[in-house]
Structure 1
Amino acid sequence: MIKITNLSKFYGKNQVLNAIDLEFEKGKVYGIVGENGAGKTTLFRCISGLETYKGDIQSDFKKLKDHLGLLLTEPFFFSKITGKEYIQLLANARSIEITDMEKGNIFDLPLEQYASTYSTGMKKKLALTAILLQENKVFILDEPFNGVDIQSNLIISRIISKLKDLDKTVIISSHIFSTLAETCDEIFLMKDGEIIRKVKQADFNKLETEMKAFTIGNRIDMLDLK
């Protein structure tokens, strides 16, 4: 269980998160949706312990960050570290022994190659592989499907389902609503740093229709395409 109470975040005088209250349970998958700049990534960074904040985050763990795997939208890699060394580095951080790294290389990545030379999609798959092999209890995946090929997206969807079966907590952001609808138990709609709506699985279709109407509106007509 992760319980967030009255969470707010400021960068100087600019408030990017405003009094957020959320709960995440074990064995469930949660989606966070919202336009660019809504505050999704900042929220994830606060939960992961990468940002200071006002409010309270409680969990079943003494130190949540020691049991949490964070997949950033654009993972960072040192210039002279191979894929294999990166995975080993993250495994060492959790005192995890990897006896057969190639067996866990489900995306067939060139692990002997410098990670900085990977494509955007390959970097994301490497970072995901590394946090999975850490045996974390909580996973935060910021746009895991973005920039990744179709075949890998299918694998990632199955991974999320498997994590749920293993009683993990999974929190995802995505601009691809269909992927969230297929994997999530609950979706939270975020706008201007606030959670403005919480939707259970039974109402996902209604939420998608409302989001399309709100986002698209008459914008296409305004282009006066000919």
Structure 2
Amino acid sequence: MSDTCIELRRLHRFFGKTKAVNDVSFSVPRGHVFGYIGPNGAGKTTSMRILATLDLPSYGDAFVDGFSVVNDPELVRRRLGFMPDSFGTYRDVNCAEYLDFFARANGLVGRQRTQRLQWVLHFTGTSGMAEKPIRGLSKGMKQRLCLGRALIHDPAVMILDEPASGLDPRARIDLRKMIRELADRGKTILISSHILTELAEMCDSVGIIEQGQLLATGSVEEIQRQRAQHRELVVRVLDRADQAAGELHSRDGVGRPLIDGQQIRFEFEGDAESQADLVAWLVGRGYRVSEVVSHKKSLEDVFLQVTEGLVQ
């Protein structure tokens, strides 16, 4: 088996003059979680629909577990589970019947279907409500059920479009744990979300897309290093804050300091060793440094820096 489980090769999708996906290429290794982020209308859902064989590219191709979505859509569907941002449920069936329907639709029979149904109910935490009608489920439990539907045929690849949308904090934590566990079991997961703090914790790598173009890709740490080389420092000195700020401003790599009482806040370009040298220099100049706080730029900061909020 190839180490690459999801691959987009110069993918294009045009709707008239609108370039929903414009020359997008990236790959996701087997067993990794890839976060796909961008403003509304950036091209995320269109890319996912192409991967799920629900749409065809105008140019280029995409591959799932080595199979082309253009040339081998049936083989792709056997290896892929798709959880859309909105999904249909049937009011007059219960959870077990709903999952059993999709197990049969995916060709599972006999003991294999029964065992898979029981595993999915247990994994998604819906065993206790297997006989409960879907119309009585909360938003969080419906999300769990939809995840179970995508998992029922044991796919190698999972495509999750805004799975945490509308969930309460506890439900989001549970979903995050399930996604990490699936990756640990060897499944490759592509997930889109606007909750960037959770993606930073969950994902092995991310891609940032805007107006159909991929602007940055790589691990969160790599993109942070490439796009956000500065960090904010807050230094508290017990006296002579104005004088300390003036001397700091003369140092290379120090942005314009802002003074708030005993606190001096400024942008600093440098690594941890440079930060330690700066503090030692202040102490050597006779300033009594009582506290130093370093704020590393988050994925949200990087996202705001990379994108411009443009829509098509």
Asked if TM exceeds 0.5, the reply is: yes
CA contact (8 A) 1:20 1:194 kept: yes
1:159 matched to 2:210: no
* Fraction of identical pairs, as percent: 29
CA contact (8 A) 2:200 2:299 kept: no
Offset, 1:151: 2.2
Unaligned runs of 5+ in 1: 218-226
CA contact (8 A) 2:124 2:147 kept: no
**Number of positions where the alignment pairs a residue of Structure 1 with one of Structure 2:** 217
Superposition RMSD on alpha carbons, in Å? 2.5
CA contact (8 A) 2:8 2:27 kept: yes
TM (normalized to structure 1)? 0.84
Q: 1:181 aligns with which of 200, 209, 222?
A: 200
Offset, 1:117: 5.3
- Aligned CA distance change for structure 1 residues 108 and 146 (closer, same or farther; 3 Å): farther
1:208 matched to 2:220: no
Pairing of 1:50-129 with structure 2 (within 5 A): 50-54=54-58, 55-59=60-64, 60-61=66-67, 63-94=75-106, 95=108, 96-99=112-115, 101=118, 102-104=121-123, 106-107=125-126, 110-116=129-135, 118-129=137-148
Moved more, 183-192 or 121-130: 121-130
CA contact (8 A) 1:140 1:172 kept: yes
Q: Which has the larger radius of gyration?
A: 2
Write out per-residue CA displacement over residues 11-52 of structure 1, whole angstroms, 9 at most, x where no aligned residue: 233321111111121011100111111111111000000001
Q: Give the number of the structure with larger relative contact order, counting CA–CA contacts within 8 Å between residues 6 or more apart.
A: 1
- Aligned CA distance change for structure 1 residues 110 and 211 (closer, same or farther; 3 Å): same
Q: 2:21 aligns with which of 2, 6, 17?
A: 17
- Aligned CA distance change for structure 1 residues 151 and 168 (closer, same or farther; 3 Å): same
Offset, 1:109: 6.6
CA contact (8 A) 1:75 1:123 kept: no
Which residue in 1 is equivalent to 2:45?
Answer: 41
Unaligned runs of 5+ in 2: 225-296
TM (normalized to structure 2)? 0.63
Write out per-residue CA displacement over residues 168-193 of structure 1, whole angstroms, 9 at most, x where no aligned residue: 11011111111111111111001011
Write out per-residue CA displacement over residues 77-115 of structure 1, whole angstroms, 9 at most, x where no aligned residue: 245443222211221233151246353550467443443
CA contact (8 A) 1:82 1:111 kept: yes
- In structure 1, C-alpha distance between the alignment counterparts of 2:22 and 2:159, rounded to whole Å: 20
SS in 2 for 1:97: helix
Which residue in 2 is equivalent to 1:190?
Answer: 209
Write out per-residue CA displacement over residues 121-161 of structure 1, whole angstroms, 9 at most, x where no aligned residue: 33222101222232111001111111123222222111111
- In structure 2, C-alpha distance between the alignment counterparts of 1:165 and 1:110, rounded to whole Å: 27
CA contact (8 A) 1:104 1:133 kept: no
